[in-house]
Chain A
Amino acid sequence: MSATQVAIALWTLVVKEIKRFTRIWPQTLLPPSITMAMYFIIFGSLIGSRIGQMDGFSYMDFIVPGLIMMAVITNSYSNVASSFFSNKFQRSVEEMMVSPMPNWVILSGFVLGGMARGLGVGLIVTLVSLFFTRISVAHPLLTIGVVVLTAALFSIGGFINALLANKFDDVSIVPTFVLTPLTYLGGVFYSISLLPTFWQNASLLNPILYMVNVFRHGFLGVSDIPVGWALAAIVAFIIVLFTVALWMLERGKGIRS
Chain B
Amino acid sequence: MAEPALSIRGLTKVYGNGFHALKGIDLDVEQGDFFALLGPNGAGKSTTLGVVCSLVQKTAGQVSIFGIDIDRDFARAKYHLGVVPQEFNFNQFEKVLDIVLAQAGYYGMPRREALPRAEQLLKDLGLWDKRNGSARMLSGGMKRRLMIARALMHRPRLLILDEPTAGVDIELRRSMWEYMRRINREEGTTIILTTHYLEEAESLCRNVAIINHGEIVRNTSVRGLLAELDTETFLLDLAHPVDQAPHVEGFEVHKVEEAQLAVVVHRGQRLNDVFTALGEQGIEVVSMRNRANRLEEMFVSMVEQGNNERPKVEQAEVGK
Q: CB within 8 Å of B: which residues of A?
A: 1-2, 4-6, 8-9, 11-13, 16, 19, 23, 86-87, 90-92, 94-102, 252, 256-257
Contact bitstring B34-60, A, C-beta under 8 A = 1, else 0: 000000000000000010011111000
Contacts of A12 in B (CB 8 A): 101-102, 105-106
With contact pairs A98-B53, A98-B83, A100-B76 given, residues A9 and B91 touching in the complex (Cβ less than 8 Å): no
**Contact A100–B75 (Cβ < 8 Å):** yes
With contact pairs A4-B108, A8-B105, A8-B108 given, residues A92 and B50 touching in the complex (Cβ less than 8 Å): no
Does B92 have its Cβ within 8 Å of any Cβ on chain A? yes
A86 CA to B150 CA, complexed, in Å: 20
Contacts of A91 in B (CB 8 A): 85, 87-89
Does B197 have its Cβ within 8 Å of any Cβ on chain A? no
5 closest cross-chain pairs (CB), A and B: A5-B108, A12-B105, A99-B106, A91-B89, A100-B75
Which of B74, B92, B108 has the most chain A CB atoms closer than 10 A to its own CB?
B108
**Contact A97–B55 (Cβ < 8 Å):** yes
Contacts of A101 in B (CB 8 A): 106-107
Residue in B closest to A257 when the chains form the complex, CB atoms: B56
Q: How far is the CB of B185 from chain A (nearest CB, A)?
A: 25
Q: Kindly list 6 other residue pairs between chains A and B, CB separation below 8 angstroms, not including A94-B55, A95-B150, A96-B106.
A: A2-B108, A8-B109, A11-B105, A92-B89, A98-B78, A257-B55
**Contact B56–A256 (Cβ < 8 Å):** yes
Q: How far is the CB of A106 from chain B (nearest CB, A)?
A: 9
Does B179 have its Cβ within 8 Å of any Cβ on chain A? no
Does B221 have its Cβ within 8 Å of any Cβ on chain A? no
Contacts of B85 in A (CB 8 A): 91, 94
Q: How far is the CB of A249 from chain B (nearest CB, A)?
A: 12
Does B93 have its Cβ within 8 Å of any Cβ on chain A? yes
18 contacts between A and B (CB under 8 A): A6-B108, A9-B107, A11-B105, A13-B105, A13-B106, A16-B98, A19-B98, A94-B55, A94-B85, A95-B103, A97-B53, A99-B103, A99-B107, A100-B107, A102-B75, A256-B54, A257-B15, A257-B55
Partner of B108, one of A1, A87, A257: A1
State the majority secondary structure of interface residues on B: loop
Partner of A92, one of B83, B90, B105: B90
Does B133 have its Cβ within 8 Å of any Cβ on chain A? no
**Contact B75–A95 (Cβ < 8 Å):** no
Contacts of B126 in A (CB 8 A): none
**Contact A100–B79 (Cβ < 8 Å):** yes
Which of A6, A23, A94 has the most chain B CB atoms closer than 10 A to its own CB?
A94
With contact pairs A16-B98, A92-B91 given, residues A5 and B107 touching in the complex (Cβ less than 8 Å): yes
Does B10 have its Cβ within 8 Å of any Cβ on chain A? no
A79 CA to B57 CA, complexed, in Å: 28
Contact bitstring B84-125, A, C-beta under 8 A = 1, else 0: 010111111110001001110111111000000000000000
Q: How far is the CB of B246 from chain A (nearest CB, A)?
A: 55
A86 CA to B88 CA, complexed, in Å: 14
A16 CA to B97 CA, complexed, in Å: 12
Q: How far is the CB of B128 from chain A (nearest CB, A)?
A: 21
**Contact B89–A23 (Cβ < 8 Å):** no
Residue in A closest to B83 when the chains form the complex, CB atoms: A98
Does B63 have its Cβ within 8 Å of any Cβ on chain A? no
**Contact B91–A90 (Cβ < 8 Å):** yes
Contacts of A94 in B (CB 8 A): 53, 55, 83, 85, 89
A64 CA to B55 CA, complexed, in Å: 46
Q: How far is the CB of B76 from chain A (nearest CB, A)?
A: 7
**Contact B90–A99 (Cβ < 8 Å):** no
A86 CA to B94 CA, complexed, in Å: 13
Partner of A90, one of B89, B101, B102: B89
Contacts of B90 in A (CB 8 A): 90, 92, 95
A6 CA to B108 CA, complexed, in Å: 6
**Contact B102–A95 (Cβ < 8 Å):** yes
Residue in A closest to B111 when the chains form the complex, CB atoms: A8
With contact pairs A87-B91, A256-B55, A257-B57 given, residues A1 and B75 touching in the complex (Cβ less than 8 Å): yes
Contacts of A97 in B (CB 8 A): 53-55
With contact pairs A19-B98, A98-B81 given, residues A9 and B87 touching in the complex (Cβ less than 8 Å): no
A248 CA to B105 CA, complexed, in Å: 24
Residue in A closest to B56 when the chains form the complex, CB atoms: A257
A224 CA to B87 CA, complexed, in Å: 54
Partner of B57, one of A6, A16, A19, A256: A256
A54 CA to B105 CA, complexed, in Å: 51
Contacts of A90 in B (CB 8 A): 89-92
Q: How far is the CB of B72 from chain A (nearest CB, A)?
A: 14
Q: How far is the CB of B100 from chain A (nearest CB, A)?
A: 10
Residue in A closest to B105 when the chains form the complex, CB atoms: A12
**Contact B56–A98 (Cβ < 8 Å):** no
A142 CA to B92 CA, complexed, in Å: 41
Q: How far is the CB of A162 from chain B (nearest CB, A)?
A: 15
**Contact B106–A95 (Cβ < 8 Å):** yes
Contacts of B75 in A (CB 8 A): 1, 100, 102
Q: How far is the CB of B53 from chain A (nearest CB, A)?
A: 5
With contact pairs A19-B98, A98-B53, A98-B55 given, residues A9 and B106 touching in the complex (Cβ less than 8 Å): yes
Which of A4, A86, A90 has the most chain B CB atoms closer than 10 A to its own CB?
A90
Q: How far is the CB of B232 from chain A (nearest CB, A)?
A: 40
